[in-house]
Structure 1
Amino acid sequence: MTSLRLPQSDGTWLEHKLGEAPVWPRPQAPITSRVAFAAAHVVADRFGENVPGAPAAVDWEATLAFRRHLYSWGLGVAEAMDTAQRGMGLDWPATEELIRRSAAQAKDLGARIAAGVGTDHLSAGEPTLDAVARGYEEQLAVVEDAGAQPILMASRHLAASAAGPDDYLSVYSRLLEQADRPVILHWLGAAFDPALEGYWGSTDVPTATATVLDLIKQHADKIDGIKVSLLDADHERQLRAALPEGVRLYTGDDFHYPQLIRGDGVHHSDALLGVFAAIPAPASAALQALDRGDQTAYDDAFAPTLELARHLFSKPTYYYKTGIAFLAWLNDLQPAFTMVGGLHSARSAIHLAEAFRLADRAGALADPEHSADRLRVFLATTTGVIA
């Protein structure tokens, strides 16, 4: 097999021998044992002025093609989430167009889609709670009109404006009462967005959890589930066991997803994960194995992906999107490695080279030889050394 040299943080180079091209089975029927969404990134227009602070220029053809790729593995798409760079380069006009285009595609394909409802179109600062609620309502109307399931995203504006738990309950109750269909709530931890520290009115996680459960129990008929991204597996297990019957826990824990999705024999987590956009084939194979009760095949598919996931989501965690886009480029799922807002510069060449190595080990590179050729070009440009 071909080998290539990968740069290390100490200035040395690691010889890496490429793995065989993986053979993953595409699903022949819908996945049924779990609901699984991949939070998808957007593909930037390689000829656009995608620099920090500029309006997003999106390659719509490649962006929608990437979603077709995810659907082909039996996954749903969680659209316009933090993976799509909400609040990190993707402005609201581009987000609205993304939601409408992606929802129309999902309808044509008979695929499942949910889309983020936020307040990121509001001006900076601390708006009144009524202004935050109205901002949410504007985006909720767009998502519902497009035909996607709403995901009520955590709001930086609400985190800045709320004085305590009652303010969160007031805003969310107002939205849930008018939603046309059950929504997915969204609890994103400070590791993913430092501006969300103390969300739900407290920095004490058990206190915040009590507020969340109060909201869910009051409006269980309007809530499909809650997506939790706190990277705390024990907390997730406790929360899902306390949820009302019929309300799902969608894991957003990119560090512990295999065990959380598998469950404990009584409760399990469904999935809404950014890492699934990087590992759709292994994730699909694991879920297909779960459908047929093959725990060994489930573990065999998922276990090698975990080191990759923990690397992609290493601190600063909110820059994980760069690794997702890089792997998409390596897999020939986008024509260039560029991102809206210039976010392709957020990870080092060493970090991305290691992402390549771990993706190869995880079977997440469809054609390792082709991906290696792309990596060589990238490393020659960034390090000045032929790999």
Structure 2
Amino acid sequence: MTIHLPQGPYEPRATPLDLAPTGTPLASRTVFSAAHVVADPYADTTPDSPAAVDWDATLAFRRHLWSHGLGVAEAMDTAQRGMGLDWAGAEELIRRSAAEARSVGGRIACGVGTDQLPPGPATLAEVRAAYEQQLAVVEESGAQAILMASRALAAAAKGPQDYLETYAHLLRQATEPVVLHWLGPMFDPALEGYWGSTDLDLATDTFLQVIAEHPDKVDGIKMSLLDADREIDVRRRLPSGVRCYTGDDFNYPELIAGDDRGFSHALLGIFDPLGPLAAHAVRVLDTGDTKGFRELLDPTVELSRHLFQAPTRFYKTGVVFLAWLAGHQDHFTMVGGLQSARSLPHLAKAYELADGLGLFPDPDLAESRMRALLTVSGGTR
């Protein structure tokens, strides 16, 4: 039956892809999905209130990802760190998710930042102490640490040397190798000039110097600059044994597939809605079938680029919207009220693209929920 979307009439597909969990671990690539949080829709909150999280639904979604063989990257920007989820909420999320990971044998890595600092300027010593506090929480939980880019460090640092000294200090504190995360300003404008320069070539040199001076403490890096050529260049310059986890939600198929000089692993927000399909594609790649991998994953790029279009930081809205349509949660309420951050036409296009890919386990449910949103948000035509 035709559904009338803002962009025109659309005929939903009748059957989804067959993407049931297989229990087979991924072999050729290490793949993390940066997972979203599910809000409690009945909590009496405001956009300025601490996040009210539906813990049962949030943890159930992580079990869904683990069941397909994916790792979970927890308490990252996809979980609305700094956009609705404060440190108190992130700390509880880390502890709960790490415990859940242990119970099911799932892989988990968690974000370490400085977002417990009060608003306003912070000293470098305060930035280091904030990082150390969060690093201790993640390590105590048994999860791997991801050292995220810090707004406070970006504001406090006077140049590359401050980054070199801060990260050297943190890496010395880490008990196990960490993932270093370079998040570009398209995801968070406050991170403009990270690593001490707005010149990306100079910033890259500083980033690589941190790694070169502490290769035994760096498991890998996550590049989130939406620049495939730069990621490939950095990937080729990494010390032996240090992995590159692509965070490029525009170019991930080619970066994961790689070339005769290497490849990227993955830590991606788009692998929240694409989780089962992404896991299936990597299993095809595990057999050496690069062509089959690309045939599965290349068609998803249009959806990803749509969700991550500028302002890129609001991609979380589309991610949660698709989780609702797919039946992973019963509502489309987000912490901080972020469900209002994308327009009805944007969401309708996301539905069309995701349905065309066969991502919805129950296409009829997705269609009925899309119709309900159209009625409530746009009226009838």
Q: Output the TM-score relative to the length of structure 2.
A: 0.98
Letter in 1 for 2:162: D
Match of 1:21 in 2: 16
Q: Does 1:242 align with 2:241?
A: no
Letter in 1 for 2:6: P
Match of 2:278 in 1: 283
CA distance in 2: counterparts of 1:180 and 1:242, whole angstroms? 25
Match of 1:65 in 2: 60
Shift of residue 50, structure 1, vs aligned partner: 4.0
Q: Does 1:348 align with 2:343?
A: yes
Classify 1:85/1:50 alpha carbon distance in 2 versus 1 (closer, same or farther; 3 Å): farther
Letter in 1 for 2:5: L
CA distance in 2: counterparts of 1:379 and 1:282, whole angstroms? 27
Shift of residue 19, structure 1, vs aligned partner: 4.8
Other structure's SS at 1:277 match: coil
Other structure's SS at 1:44 match: coil
Match of 2:51 among 53, 56, 74: 56
Q: Does 1:370 align with 2:380?
A: no
Letter in 1 for 2:2: S
- 1:76–1:112 contact (8 Å) kept in structure 2: yes
Shift of residue 312, structure 1, vs aligned partner: 0.3
Match of 2:5 in 1: 6
Letter in 2 for 1:262: A
Other structure's SS at 2:374 match: helix
Q: Does 1:175 align with 2:150?
A: no
Shift of residue 89, structure 1, vs aligned partner: 0.3
Shift of residue 72, structure 1, vs aligned partner: 1.0
Which residues in structure 2 correspond to 1:181-192 (within 5 Å)?
181-192=176-187
- 1:3–1:18 contact (8 Å) kept in structure 2: no
Q: Does 1:307 align with 2:302?
A: yes
Which residues in structure 2 correspond to 1:1-387 (within 5 Å)?
2-8=1-7, 13-385=8-380
CA distance in 1: counterparts of 2:243 and 2:252, whole angstroms? 15
Measured against aligned partners, the alpha-carbon deviations of 1:72-97 in whole angstroms (never above 9, x if no partner) come to 11100000000000000001111110
The RMSD of aligned alpha carbons is 1.0
CA distance in 2: counterparts of 1:111 and 1:49, whole angstroms? 33
Other structure's SS at 2:11 match: strand
CA distance in 1: counterparts of 2:239 and 2:2, whole angstroms? 52
Shift of residue 25, structure 1, vs aligned partner: 5.0
Aligned length: 381
- 1:220–1:247 contact (8 Å) kept in structure 2: yes
CA distance in 1: counterparts of 2:21 and 2:259, whole angstroms? 27
CA distance in 2: counterparts of 1:236 and 1:50, whole angstroms? 40
Percent identity of equivalent pairs? 57
Q: Output the TM-score relative to the length of structure 1.
A: 0.97
Letter in 1 for 2:136: A
Other structure's SS at 1:41 match: coil
Shift of residue 232, structure 1, vs aligned partner: 0.2
CA distance in 2: counterparts of 1:195 and 1:66, whole angstroms? 30
CA distance in 2: counterparts of 1:335 and 1:310, whole angstroms? 26
